[in-house]
Amino acid sequence: MRRIITVFALLALASGAGAQTIPKEELLFLTSAWKGERFPDGRPRVSDELVERARRIGIEEAWQILNNEGYRNQYEGGWKMVHDDVPVVGRAVTARYMPSRPDVERLVKERGQAQGRKGNTNAWPIEVLQKGDVYVAEAFGKIAQGTLIGDNLGTSIFRKTGTGVIFDGSARDLSGLAKIPGFNAFVRDFHPSFIEDLFLMGLNTPIRIGRAIVMPGDLVISEREGVLFIPAHMAEYVVGMAEFIAVRDRFSKDMLNSGRYNAGQIDNEWTPEIRTAFLDWIRKHPEEPQITAEQLDRYLSKRTW
């Protein structure tokens, strides 16, 4: 058993991830549906362009698209926020926290210190954050003494990512966090206590946020009602499909207002004539997402509206 544990630790270190608690090879295996670029630790790297597009889609449409594809455990609601109107969007960096157990916590901290990590373990995930990342933490809903950040760590997080956090736990210093322009935190609650009897047990590993499963690199989108974790390999399709639904609605209203087509024609299966009209309309509106004929065929075949 000792040899197995040693080999496991060496694999984790060899991946270049430092505190990552699963080997890079395991992360590659668990996210093998992703075929795009990756970070050095193996985390899928959804493009900056796609993250920016994701800021403009609706969470209801994205949820429906995922649900239709069989991804039914990607949403979680029931949050408190620093700001009601500041979405948190980006690529997930995941962290799992556990109740303190002296022997295990001592080992984790000794190994982290040997790797050059500073401070309490709740600061370690911040070290790996990059621009466009979202710090997503599983902390079993702990509120009192479950405060993973205050305004100092919040400032550090926002400086590195430009986004915010999603915590199945709590945060402190609400008034201070509210003074960080552009930052937001989705948490179970806010509490004045300091973190206690809680330590980091996993970094960039699969986690559970309420009823949702979250993988490192998932595309995170949020609105006031909740948070959706889109698997990285589904991100391009979900964002594109959600964009099409929104564009389709604008096209439909334009056609109905002009009298070119009636509601029965627009709301049922599109004829070749309406498809052509849509593609012509798209070309005349360069401010809209530009959808190809092939993409249109794919989106219409799904019919999620």
From the candidate CATH numbers 3.30.365.10, 3.50.30.40, 3.30.420.40, 3.40.50.300, the one assigned to the domain spanning 72-230: 3.50.30.40
Pairing of strands 133-138, 164-168: parallel
281-293 pLDDT, tens digit each = 999 999 888 888 9
Could you count the other beta carbons within 10 Å of the beta carbon of residue 291? 18
Res. 15 pLDDT band, cuts 50 70 90: very low
Whole-Å CA distances, 159 to 124, 127, 131, 162: 15, 12, 8, 6
**Average pLDDT over every residue of 166-191:** 97
pTM: 0.87
Is the separation of the CB atoms in 246 and 61 below 8 Å?
A: yes
pLDDT for res 122: 94
What pLDDT, in 10s, does the model give residues 120-168?
999 999 999 999 999 999 999 999 999 999 999 999 999 999 999 999 9
Question: Which residues are CB-contacts of 119 (< 8 A; sequence separation ≥ 6)?
Answer: none
pLDDT of 183 higher than 60? yes
Q: Count other C-beta atoms under 10 Å from residue 25's C-beta.
A: 12
Domain boundaries, the chain: 1-30, 72-230, 236-302
